Amino acid sequence: MPPIDATGLLLTFARRGEDDAIRQALGRLRVEGAVSVISVGTPVSAPVLSELGCDEVIIYGDGRNARAAITDLRRRRLAMAALIYSDASYAGHLKLEVLALLSGAGWVQRIAPGASSAISRFSLAASVLAKGLSACALAVIGTVICTAAFVCLTLRQTAAGGRRAHRP
């Protein structure tokens, strides 16, 4: 359980239609003891997050790099974080999960439409690792397919008379 007067972190992409999920996450953080809630957002999403109830929005982008945002988060010694997912499978959101892990928050609550669950830092790290390895595997498979296509096209071109072959 987080300490009283703790600071909570809200992580979301703040897409259109996520207003209810953001309000639910803010309510959950406040119930768990967050006196103030900060969020990380882009210059475009910052006004939306502030309007929905975030006490402060750390701007990422528009000239501010990720290292500065992460340093700012770690300095605050966050007690908790809430991640908003678009569906109950908790798929995707690798970027937000990495940010939650690097923020140093004591515990993380995953919130999706119709579902909510707490996750330990170890489980979050395992999720980040699995999703990262999956992304790397997809990149390798894509590279192999593109290389095979290039080789096939080069062999066909060579069989048809090479690069300088003229059409009749």
Over residues 64-96, the pLDDT tens digits come to 777 887 888 888 878 888 888 877 777 778 888
pLDDT at 48: 86
Domain boundaries, the chain: 6-119
Handedness of CA 61, 119, 29, 85 (dihedral sign): positive
Tell me the pTM: 0.74
Nearest to 72 by CA among 115, 40, 37: 40
pLDDT at 4: 45
**Is the confidence at residue 1, as pLDDT, over 50?**
no
Task: Report the range out of 21-30, 40-49, 114-123, 140-149 with the highest average pLDDT.
Answer: 140-149
Any idea which fold 6-119 has? Rossmann fold (3.40.50)
Q: Which residue has the tokens 């119930």?
A: 31
